[in-house]
Each structure stands twice: as C-alpha cells, then as structure tokens.
Structure 1
Amino acid sequence: MTKVLPVAQLTAEAYPKVKRNPSFKVPTKDDVQYFRSFLDFDEILESSNSEELASFNQDWMKKYRGQSNLVLLPKSTDKIAKIMKYCNDNKLAVVPQGGNTDLVGASVPVFDEIILSLKNMNKIRDFDPVSGTFKCDAGVVMRDAHQFLRENNHIFPLDLPSRNNCQVGGVVSTNAGGLNFVRYGSLHGTVLGLEVVLPNGEIISNINALRKDNTGYDLKQLFIGAEGTIGVITGVSIQAAARPKALNAVLIGIDSFETVQKLFIKAKNELSEVLSAFEFMDRGSIECTIEYMGKPFPLVNSHGFYVLIETSGSNKRHDDEKLEAFLSSALETKLIAEGKMAKDLDEYNLFWTWRKSVPTACNSYGGMYKYDMSLQLKDLYSVSEAVTKRLNDASMIGDAPKPVVKSVGYGHVGDGNIHLNIAVRHFTKELEDLLEPFVYEYIALKKGSISAEHGVGFHKKGHLHYSRSEIELRFMKDIKNHYDPNGILNPYKYV
C-alpha cells in the first residue's frame, strides 16, 4: 500500500454540526475477528491509527478526511454480501469505495465507518465481440477496461481525466458523464445490467440483461448515480462502442464565450457524424495548467477561451478533410482567432493532455473548491463570471496570503456542463461562506442543476432543493429508507 500523508482537516472537525449517528455500533475486535473468519489476509487492512489508512480516508481534493480504522477489500460478490448482512444486522456503518477519485466527498468516511473497497474485485468477466456487450467486476480500473476493449476493436463508452485510477463500478455509481458524452450519451443508456449487493446482504442481478427488455421496472437505473447509498455495485454489463479507425483534434483560441457557442453550432452542422467531443477552457484554467506542466502551450497567442474539438470515425482521409475544411472556414470568416489541427497521434494526445490536466493543475496549489453544474448553453459561463466577481469584490483572489489563486471555468459544451474550480492555497470557512449558498442560488435562478455529473455526496447534501422539487426529494428519501432502513450504507450523504 502506498502511504499517503493526511493533509485534509478531519471532516468531523471541519463540519462540527454533523454528528455521528449514535445508533451505529463502533467496530470492535470481535467484528474484525468475524471478518477474518472468511476474508484472506490481504482482504483486510486494520490500524489503531486512522492516519495510517490516509489513502482510503482522504479524498482526492484533500478536502475531506474520515477516521476509519478498518478497510475491507473482498475478492468476491459473495464475500461482500456476507459483509453487508453482518454490518446490517449489527448496525455497522459502511462506505463503499472504488478508485477514490470522487469529487464530492462521497467515497470517504465522515466518522469511523468501515471502508468497503472494491479494488480486489478487478476481473473482466466476459466480452461478446458481436454485440459489443462487456461485463466486468466493479473494481476494474477504467484504464484497463479501455485497454482490453481497444485490443478487441471496441472502446469503453466513457472517458475521464481520472481513467488511470477510477473504477467502472465507481463511475456507474456516480453516473459520470465524461469527455465524450456528446457522442456516446449517458451511462443510463449504455449500462445494460448490474449486479448489486443490497444493505441487507441480498444480491440483485440483471447483469445478463439484453439491450431490449421491457419486463417490468428497470431497476438498474436506481443504482446508477445513487453513490452507493442503496446498494454496492459489484458487477457491470455495458454496451461497448466500435473502436474508431480515425481520431483527430483541433485546438482553437477564441475571445468570447458567445463565439464558443457559435462555433459549437458550426461544428454540429459541419462535423455532425464524426463529432465526438467539444470541450472549452477559459484563460485562467490554461494559465494554471501551463504553470503546472511547465511547458509552452500549443497555440502562440493568449485568448479568452480555448476549444478542443475531437472527431472520430472510420475513414481518416474523409474525417481529416472535413476537419480541415471546418478549421479553414472558421479562420477565414474570423469566427476564431487561432487554430491548430493535430498533425499526428502524438499531437492529438498532447492536446488532450492539456485538457485533462486542468483539474490536477488547479488542485496543485493546496486544494480547490469544485462545482460541477449544468445550465442552458447561453448561461453556461455566466456562473464562473459571477463567482469570480464575488471573490474579487471580497479581495480573496491574488498573491499570498490571499487564499484564492484563481477562479476558473471549463467543461463540456456538448452537454451544457461547466466545472468551476476555485484553486486555493488553503480552505477557509470565510471563503466557503462566500461560495455557498451563492453558487447554488445562482444555478437555481438560471434553472440549472447543481450537479451535472459529479454527484451529491457529502458536499451537496442539504442543497438538492435548489434543483429538485419537494415531491422528488420525498421519493428519494422513501427509496433510501426502503432499501436501507438502518441507514448504514454511506451515511451522512446524498439525501
């Protein structure tokens, strides 16, 4: 196990209003002894000092940190079922954890909850090259799923900057959207079936589901995006896409977000069937990334916004001709200020490295406040402008000792999703009070969603009313209470 030094303040100390549920049992030596009766030596990590388990207790953003002294890493669904039944019977709280790349505090404990890691559930179960149906354990790392499918002339229908660490079950549990949503759509559409262990230890599975099946309620949809609050996903069946034979990308400099929108319309009309990504980044996000990467940016001049467009198809000559014509036309009509088309696969990968490195760059100063929202396209960047103005008015942005390095916006134009990153030297209560509920109130005013793809977790619990109606919230709580009446699964989060 790689040792990670704890840097985040304990969540229980940072949020003292959140109290440990007194009905939950504190794990004892007897409980550990029970788990050891059927788990192998390498399926249990135990320590009297939770700091020794920091890589499991602490989130990627260094914002949340729990106090668990026990991590279980079972290698089978049956063992997970046995764990959950015991924990439910004894009211032991449990936090399911995948690759721990979550961005809303959903995958780490708040207090002393047992961490149920899926990292040992890492087997590919089956692949049908005719239908493209791919089945795997929930703990398969997305990078490995991509590699396996690429070797079989297919691709996983989702890609994320965290692909080297995030797990298939985790991205399904959070309903991640990713970089190619504009082409492949939501996991609600591509996931065919799931195997799930319920809080009481029962196993519910439709992992062998067909693409078309109208026999009753589509129960798998309940668990997609539920963040491990009503069940632990242990197996996934997903529709893989045919691997494109041709990939290319253009990197473009633009001076206004209004022009970004016009370029998106042009891309949909002229690139249509080969358009697979349309990403935007503001100047601040690229400035952070240039500092982080320590190398020159591919475009010569500085611009207010940058756009990365990807095409993927079956005929490289055809696709490149379309992309070259699109870029030439955009330059000639002065729709864009500067543009560069990738000359080969290495430059294509380099363009994507710049885009994928933005969140890591923003987090490199000490931490970041991160908001993931969806809005109508005309309003998409306005929330970043409003937050930056609010922070500037409060004299929060600037050189040390001011807490904020930069407030930046970037995201997925194709699905109306912006990521607002406030890169900070340290977290402060004063800064958090400036941001919340201001950000949520702004999104509600614009009739947007306070979570486009990152989920709810600990961060946004108590704020869902900004995007959901009273009756919707009641339904969600009813579902949680029905499946998890003892409330042991991922407590203090979601609803």
Structure 2
Amino acid sequence: MSLGRIVKLQALITKPLRRAYSTAPELTQIRHNVKRSDYANLEDKDIAFFESIVGKRYALQEDLQAYNVDFWRSVRGNSQLVLKPGTTQEVSAILKYCNERKLAVCPQGGNTGVVGGAVPVFDEIVLSLTRLDKILHIDEITGIAACETGCILENLDNKARELDLVVPLDLGAKSSCHVGGNVSTNAGGLRVVRYGNLHGSVLGLEVVLANGEILDLMSDFKKDNTGYHLKHLFIGAEGTLGVVTKVSILCAPAPQAQHVAFLGLPNFDAVLKTFKSAKLNLGEILSACEMIDAPTLDASLEHFKLNSPINGFPFYMLLETSGSNGTHDMEKINKFVEIGMERGEIIDGTITGEARKMQEIWKLRELAPMALTKDGYCFYYDLSLPLRDFYSIVEVMQKRIGTLATRVTGFGHLGDSNLHLNVSCPAYTDELHHKIEPFLYEYTHKLKGSVSAEHGIGFIKKNYLKYSKSAEAIAMMRDMKKLLDPKGILNPYKVLN
C-alpha cells in the first residue's frame, strides 16, 4: 500500500467551511448583476411531488446555507429546496418533472469546486447527490472500478488500495469531493503527469438527461471503437448536459515504493531545467512534479504552523516517484539531484521515502489554497500556460496589483503546464476584482493558454470562455446544449449561459 499521498484534510477543512457559511458572500445575482431567466417558481404542489419521490426527510427546506455557498466564499445562491435522491430512478423522476414544469436544477456533489459551478445563482433546486455513494465493484484483475456518482474519491481510493490498485486521480479535497463531480469537471489533480486526465481513465458513465431519460454508457473495456464516444460529452460538461449517476474508471497498480524530493531553486529558469532533467533521469517513475513559489510556501507555514525541511529560496519543486523497486528508485533520484546540484540548478533539497515525512512535505503544497484564503479572501485562478511563460504571468500581476493585495502567488502542476495563480487580500473588493479581470484572461489568451486547466468554467469564468474557444466551437457547444437540454433547466447560468 502506498502511503506517500495519504493526507487527511477533513479536520482542517471543517473549520474554514463553518467560517465560510457564517460570513457568506453577497448574493451572486447582485454582485454580478445577473437577470433571472424565465423558469417556473417553486410551488407547494412541486414540493409535494418531490416528497413523494425522495421522502420528506430528503426534501430539505431549512438550513440550506451550506448548499447555497461554495467552499471558497465566492458565490451564493438562494435555493429554497434541496433534494437528495437515493437512486438513479429517483434522479430520473425528478428531472422529468422539472423539465415538464421548467424548474431549474443545480446538480451538486461535494461542493469543493472553485468556479461557482456547483451552487445555484438564483433559486434553482439543488440536486444533492450525496446519497448515491455506493462502490459497485472493483475488479482486482482488470483494475476496473464502478461506483455511484456521490462516492467520495478517498473512499474509492482506499477500497482500491486494498486490492493493490490506485485511483488515477488525486486531489487535496479527496476526503470530501465526489467521483461524479470529478468527472463532471474533468478534474486534473496531482497525477496527470503519470496517469493522464479523466478522458483517458473513465471507461463509462450512466447519465440522466434533462427529460429524465437514463443513458447507459457504462463499459468494462478500455477499447470500444463502436461509433461516437458519447461519454466524452459529459466529462467536463459540469452538469449542463446531463447528471452523471454512475462511473466506470480504470485503476492503476498501486506503487510498491514511493519517494518525495523537495528542492530549493534560485530562479525560474532553474525550475525549467530541473523539470527537463526529471523527465530525462526519472522517466517512468515520475508521478508528480509541482512548483511552489516563496509567497505560497510562506502562507502555508504561517497559517498552518507547518515546518519546511528547507527554506529561503524563491522557488521550490516537489517531485514524487512511484515504482516497484525502492532501491532502484532511490538511486535514480539521488543521481538526478546530484546532477542538478552540480549544474547549480538545485541549491538544496531533501529526499525521503518515509511515509510520515512524505506526508508532511505534501501538506506544504496541498494546504496552500486554504492557507491563502486565511489571508481573508483569495481570487483563485487555474490556467494552462506554455512552460516558458509559466511564471511570468505571476510577475506581471504582482506589478499590476501592487499593494492592493496581501500576496500574489503562483504554484501548480508543472508537469502538465497547469498554474494556480492566487491573489489574496483582507476582503473582496470590486476594485481588486476589476484590476485582475479581464486583464488576466486577455494576457493568458495572448500567450495562447487556457483560462481553465482543470477546474472548469462554471459561473465565474463563463464570460471568458471566448479567450480559449473559437466562436465556431462555442456555437457548436450551444447547439449541443439545445439538443440535450432544450429548456435549459440543467445548471443554468453556467459555462455557456
């Protein structure tokens, strides 16, 4: 069993979540001046019908703040009803009724997203999928796992590890995020450099369409070259085309040996050269390659009272290896670090294969997003950029924003060109928001980057999709939305709306 990635965040998440709900942001519709579309209003007869489907216990009308506010305190809706179906058939009945009545629906999983895709904008009915949490089966021979949409990622991974398998997706929020939500946002996480993204790992889906039709796209095969691969329409669609209810995913063999290297580097050019060396010298055992700048590390150390094995450098790299022979892997890592130090690209560092020490090092990176929110408020951006320009955008924003921010930082998945740019401040202000946007997205567009690397578009980025997709592509996406959801009831105001 691999222990290097086991970082329990639930206890640390609980307190910030409570603070988020007690200091809820301004209503999204007001802050962003959104006009409600012509959806029907919820009536007593609707509630009576839903109660007949899920039972009164699972048709919630009180204490709904946790479902209306996102974890990052950036958006807030005003839903008056949360439904918790327990079966695919119940989801189907709910959507069929909502489609006939033209009642808007907001599907919601673990609510750990960062672009406002999982909470309502107005009074949409929240379709909470937390009860659909069963692990259906895991085949220890083929590595194929099937689960319901509300299965928590960490629970599926723990079950897979009992069979010497590992889910090919790892996130800091793994103890609360749902597999269905991961698929619906095409979550990337820490292991893309090793396992690729979910379009390659997901074998099949079960999806309920807006009209209540259940679409069975489940599969137990990696290769199935029969017609259109419709499952890909729903991976990353953020619940706007259908509601994912089951997932079939290919798990990988669990690594028998893991090591982590935490390195201090003098400049970003050294970061690039070290990444190139890692690909060359670590090759098949490289499973994660993260970059952390000094302001990000300072936030983690300051707010969570963590200890760093090295300090005092402008840039840090966290590299993880996963292999089958610990001695062989350690020899490769030592040689890689030795080469980097001889070239002056690595100034200092530490290497460990001890589970506890690996866990402590990973906390420095995984707790960074939450550490930055403890500055008060954090504008959090998720970009794909050409590697040579990976960090320049952070420096540009530091100069542009100046003293308006507490910190302007950059960290992320260097191995797949995914930068997380963060602007923390004491509290949200329109002045700072407009200083960042749309400039940041225009700058990303000039670099031919993507405005969303792994977190999706949601509500927050819907006006900026044009910076990453052509007008023709967006028009085709709209056509697909009209075909599958002609009344627009599924997750309105998100992605395209």
Report TM bin, short chain. Answer: over 0.9
Runs of 4+ displaced beyond 3 Å = 1-4
Of 376, 384, 399, 1:374 maps to 384
1:335 is displaced (CA, Å) by 1.5
How far apart, in 1, do the equivalents of 2:217 and 2:455 lie? 25
Residue 118 (structure 1) aligned with residue 129 (structure 2): yes
How far apart, in 2, do the equivalents of 1:281 and 1:42 lie? 45
Q: Which position in structure 1 is the counterpart of 2:287?
A: 276
Gap regions ≥5 residues in structure 2: 1-13
How far apart, in 2, do the equivalents of 1:171 and 1:423 lie? 26
Deviates more, 1:327-336 or 1:372-381: 327-336
Residue 5 (structure 1) aligned with residue 22 (structure 2): yes
Residue 128 (structure 1) aligned with residue 139 (structure 2): yes
Q: Which position in structure 1 is the counterpart of 2:35?
A: 19
How far apart, in 1, do the equivalents of 2:213 and 2:22 lie? 37
How far apart, in 2, do the equivalents of 1:409 and 1:356 lie? 13
Q: Which position in structure 1 is the counterpart of 2:454?
A: 453
Q: Which position in structure 2 is the counterpart of 1:224?
A: 235
1:7 is displaced (CA, Å) by 1.8
Flag the 1:480–1:450 CA change in 2: closer, same or farther, 3 A.
Answer: same
1:6 is displaced (CA, Å) by 4.6
How far apart, in 1, do the equivalents of 2:307 and 2:165 lie? 34
Flag the 1:247–1:343 CA change in 2: closer, same or farther, 3 A.
Answer: closer
1:26 is displaced (CA, Å) by 1.2
Of 140, 155, 161, 1:150 maps to 161
Of 46, 58, 61, 1:31 maps to 46
Residue 99 (structure 1) aligned with residue 110 (structure 2): yes
TM-score by length of 1: 0.95
Residues 57-206 of structure 1 aligned to structure 2 (within 5 Å): 57-206=68-217
1:15 is displaced (CA, Å) by 1.2
DSSP 3-state at the match of 2:411:
strand
How far apart, in 2, do the equivalents of 1:42 and 1:188 lie? 36
Is the Cα contact below 8 Å between 1:381 and 1:409 reproduced in 2?
yes
Is the Cα contact below 8 Å between 2:205 and 2:218 reproduced in 1?
yes
Is the Cα contact below 8 Å between 1:58 and 1:66 reproduced in 2?
yes
User: Letter of the aligned partner of 1:9 in structure 2?
Assistant: E
Of 26, 51, 61, 1:46 maps to 61
DSSP 3-state at the match of 2:54:
coil
Residues 417-436 of structure 1 aligned to structure 2 (within 5 Å): 417-436=418-437
Q: What's the CA shift string for 1:257-280, capped at 9, x where partnerless?
A: 111010011000100010000000
User: Letter of the aligned partner of 2:73 in structure 1?
Assistant: K
How far apart, in 2, do the equivalents of 1:478 and 1:429 lie? 34
Deviates more, 1:200-209 or 1:301-310: 200-209
How far apart, in 2, do the equivalents of 1:349 and 1:11 lie? 37
1:256 is displaced (CA, Å) by 0.9
User: Letter of the aligned partner of 2:347 in structure 1?
Assistant: A
Is the Cα contact below 8 Å between 2:308 and 2:361 reproduced in 1?
no
Q: Which position in structure 2 is the counterpart of 1:322?
A: 332
1:366 is displaced (CA, Å) by 2.1
User: Letter of the aligned partner of 2:25 in structure 1?
Assistant: A
How far apart, in 2, do the equivalents of 1:212 and 1:294 lie? 48
Residue 386 (structure 1) aligned with residue 396 (structure 2): yes
Deviates more, 1:37-46 or 1:184-193: 37-46
1:442 is displaced (CA, Å) by 0.2
Of 55, 63, 75, 2:66 maps to 55
DSSP 3-state at the match of 1:38:
helix
How far apart, in 2, do the equivalents of 1:319 and 1:488 lie? 52
Q: What's the CA shift string for 1:288-342, capped at 9, x where partnerless?
A: 111111133221x311111000000111111111112212222233221111012
Q: Which position in structure 2 is the counterpart of 1:399?
A: none
User: Letter of the aligned partner of 1:25 in structure 2?
Assistant: A
Q: Which position in structure 2 is the counterpart of 1:310?
A: 320
User: Letter of the aligned partner of 2:213 in structure 1?
Assistant: E
User: Letter of the aligned partner of 1:189 in structure 2?
Assistant: G
User: Letter of the aligned partner of 1:305 in structure 2?
Assistant: F
Percent identical pairs in the alignment equals 44
User: Letter of the aligned partner of 2:368 in structure 1?
Assistant: V
- RMSD, matched Cα: 1.3
Is the Cα contact below 8 Å between 2:259 and 2:352 reproduced in 1?
yes
How far apart, in 2, do the equivalents of 1:465 and 1:15 lie? 18
How far apart, in 1, do the equivalents of 2:392 and 2:343 lie? 26
Is the Cα contact below 8 Å between 1:331 and 1:339 reproduced in 2?
no
Residue 364 (structure 1) aligned with residue 366 (structure 2): no
